[in-house]
Amino acid sequence: MDIKNRLFWVAAFVGVVLDQITKQWIVRTFELTESRPIWDGVFHFTYVTNTGAAFSLFSESGTWLRWLSLLVSVGLVLLAWVGPAMNRWEQAGYGFILAGALGNGIDRFFAGEVVDFLDFRLIRFPVFNLADVFINVGIVCLLIAAFHKPPQAKANSR
- Residues annotated as part of the active site: 116, 132
- CB burial of residue 156 (10 Å; 0-12, 13-18, 19+): exposed
* Distinct helix (H) and strand (E) counts, the chain: 5, 3
Amino acid identity, position 110: F
**What 8-state DSSP symbol labels residue 56?**
G
